[in-house]
Each structure stands twice: as structure tokens, then as C-alpha cells.
Structure 1
């Protein structure tokens, strides 16, 4: 398929730079075989059914944007992927200062040594501490890694520490938020639980690759970024039980969907899973385990718009996005959401 097939017009003023307040006041576009309908996230109790299973991604965003010194020269970097407990790959500038052996100092709280630099410019840093000590130091010196399309419009600030984090985030390791989850509040989750909507947690540590543009002309030539995830035995059983009982499995976010589909066998059964996934879902993909997706609005020609097109059809999703633009929906990480049924679409 041609990447150009997934293009659409998006005015720049539709990009949200702050989230809705309160979170559940964000708008929600319902996409079904019957058409489109406008709601808010707070309307979810009226849209979901008793017995539905929400699958949430409990990854926690770390303050992965850092400023430091190499000698007397200032540098900036964004962590993108953990190699081990003390070693991370990152994107950095100015790249010429990051020579192997160079030491980067982040105030008096943290330092790292450049261990490698690949031809594409990715830097590998080994920090002077690991595990929980490293996370504590990053929390002290780092800022939240807002997506480029927000960071270009304003500087990350203290409010982003709360705004760019799901209320149920638990497992540190993401360098980007699972943004559909940002709309959910403890009160809304309690109301859904009271009406019989179940939930389970999976973990996918979202990487910065989620923001990378597709630079090829044909989808077959695109190399998807890999992210680490885990489906525990309890989560696999909860999803499997819902499927056996004919209840809907609703992925909250493309990250949860991609992980579930990576863990599912061709017949839809799930086993515990822990490892890397680079699944790339485009139209023609046959979904194994997910019935409904809640997700934000995505970039033109992005892998995520390709994913929602696979779920409900490219023309239907282009029509949904055109409606969202016309109706003033807010796009991307801090924007509004959609709730999309999996529909039978031609390969």
C-alpha cells in the first residue's frame, strides 16, 4: 500500500497543547457500522456494556528529556530505549559532542558516559547509577518528554508532570504516554466498575518511535520501532475469559492493542507474554483479540492512522477524521478521543 493513501488535511490549529480539564471532558467520537456520533469521554458509562473488559496500559512515563554539559558545552537529549538497568539509547544534540568516552554531567545529581554512537546518530549512554537510583535521579533532573509537535509550540513545565501521565501509571519505563489513558479519572473508572465493566492491566513501555514519520512511499518498506511489553498470566486469563464468554475486549490505546495482538495466537487465544514487539498493523490485518479501540486522533500518514484504518476501514476513518476536523475536535497526545468498533473491511 502507498503511504500517501493515508494522508488527510489537518489544520495546524487542531493540535492540542494542553489537555481538557477535567480529563474526562475531552470529546469522544463514536465510530460504528451505523456511522458517527459525538460524545465526551465522561459518557463512557452510557456507551459501554456490563461485562465489557477494558485493557489498560499501566506503563509510567519517565522524565526522559535532559539537559547537561559535556565539558563546558551544553547538550540536550531524549532517552528513547532502555538497554539495561543503567544503559539507555538516546537522541541528542549537538551530536558532534557525543564522542565515545565523553562524560555528560546533569548537575551534581547524575552523570553518564557515552559508550557508542551508531551511523544514524543514536547515542548509547551508561549512567553512573542504575534501577531505582537512576529513576530517582531522572525525576530530579529531567522533564517530561512531550511529543515534538507540542514541544515546538511551548516548553514543558511542572503541570506536564501530572497531565502527561495516566492516573493508574505504575511501571516506569515509557518515554511517551499511552495517550488514550490520559482521559481516564479515578471517578470515571469507579463508575464503570460499578456498572459491571471489568478491567485488566498490561504493560507496553511506549518508545519515541511512536512519533517518527514514515519516510518510505510503500508501507512494505517501513521498519517499525520495537517496544518492550508484558501480558501477565492474570491479564491473559482475563482477556481469554472475556473472549470465551462472548464479552467485548476494549483496548484503551493503540499501545494496549498492539501488545494484545502480539501476544494472541491466530485463533485469538492468549498466553503470558514478555518481550519486544514491532508489530505493524495495516489494512488487511485480521485482528485476533480486540473488538473495540479507544484512541486519540493521529497524524496523517502515520503508522497509527494506518492501524485505525485496519480496524474500521481507510475510507470510514478518513470520513471520521474529516468530521472531527470540521467539528473542532482537538488532535494528538493532549487532544480528544475516538471509540472505534472493529468492522469487517476488505483486505
Structure 2
């Protein structure tokens, strides 16, 4: 297989992982809503999600404990921004502004990533990438029906913007060290320690000792169907968090932060579609059209990235990736 073919295959794998990550993240709300309606506070659900995932990833944290010495700033930043920050700012924002508005502001992150690449890293951004971001954000506004119940709340919008900035940190930090070849930090180790840091921060914020733990032993209602609360929590922990973060971080290293950020906009589309089928929340025509526009924007953005040129393994025990000179500006 030629280098260009291998690079194209690597980018295809990265795109596939990014889509899997968006699907996994998108399913979190559908599983969390019945738990919240059963009586769990939203922040308690977030804490259970992150703390449970941290326990699952704990063996990997032990295996990659050398990261504590070599990459302490990366681990702390990923946990504070990519895990705790996104969750805390988002849930704080939806307490003051409509969910659709908060979600739209949070997913301004792809545009902010392009700004980071262009003005901080001083790398070029192609018109196609910018067009992809515009289409994705515009389509997302239609998917979440941002015009429904729109009201201005300065603090709420600032909190949602904080979630967007933290999401930028998630994409940028996920890509850290991807040029280092064999010395690159293993993504699984970074995720494991990021979840541990995030769980510690969210413990202080959510105060889980005030939670009604008995609710987890009962059942919840999902559009008229009784579902065990423990099963929903298991889905949130294993699929919507562990699998979502693992596939998401690996996809960023294969695609670049800016491309993966635009593909991540599919999360809102997937969440809306899953809510339609599983929770009975009907889709209007503008939402369907908006979903198509988001898909078009994501396709334009990812197809504008040049192919990688080589394939090498990450750190020991990590998934294969293709380092380059990071000239794959969108």
C-alpha cells in the first residue's frame, strides 16, 4: 500500500472514530433524562458518569502512571477543561437559558478551534474549512430550534461560552504530543487521568453525599417503557463516556482538532434523532433540514484536510496513528 493510500485509510479510520464518538456522546442525554425525571439532580448524574468512567479506566491509569511525572500539566488541563469544565459550565448555563441556545453556543467550539489554529498557532485555514464550520453551526441552530423560547441572559450565555472554550481545550489537548512519535503520551492514559481529575473536581461541585442513592436501585420511565436505572447508568458510563472519550481523543490525533471539532457537531443531531425514537420527542421539518446541513458542513470540513503521509504507533499499548509535521491545517 502506498503512503498516500495508507494516509487516506488512516484519515478514514479517524473519521469513523469521530462519528462513533459523536454517536456515543449523543446518547448520553437520552439515557440521562429518565434518571433526572426519576429524581436525580443533573449534577449528580454527571458525577456518576465521570466517577464511574474513572473507575473503569483506573487500571489504565495505573499502567500509565509515568504520565504523572512526564505530562502533569496535560493531565490536569484535560481533566479540568475536557471533562469537568465542559460538564459544569454546560449544566450551569441551562439553568439560566434554554437548552437549545446553550447547546448552540457550546458548539461554537469548532469555529473557536479554527481561530486558535489561525491566530495562535499561526497556521492557514482554508475557505472550505471555514464554510464547513458556518454550515455546521447554522444547521445546528435549526436542529436545536434556537428560535423557540429564546431569551437573553448575559450570565447564561457567558456560562455556555465557557463550555465552548472548555470544549476547545478538549480538542486541542487531545492532539498534544501527536508529533512526538514513540514519545507521544498514550491517549488511554491521558483519558484515564483526565477522568480522575474531572471526578475529583465534580465531587466538590456536585456534593454526591447528598444524592438519593436508592433511586439507582429502582426503574425509570422511557417513553412509557420501564427501564432499570442501573442499566441506563451503565450505558452512560461505559458507552457515553468511556467509549466516547476513547474514540474521540484517538480521532482527534488522526484528523486534527479542527476537523474533529466540526464532526463533533453531529452529536446534537444524533441526540435529537435518538430522542425522537426513544423518548417520543418529534422532529419538525426545520430540524431534519438542519441535520442535513450539519452533515454537509462536517463532510466539507473533513474533506478539506490534506492526507497524512506516514503511519507509526503511538506510545506502548496505544492505538496506531499517523504523525506528521501537522501541516494538515483544515
Greater RCO (Cα-Cα under 8 Å, separation 6 or more) = 2
Q: Which has the higher strand share?
A: 1
Please tell me whether Structure 1 or Structure 2 has the larger radius of gyration of its CA atoms. 1
Tell me the TM-score normalized by structure 2.
0.26
Q: Which has the higher helix share?
A: 2
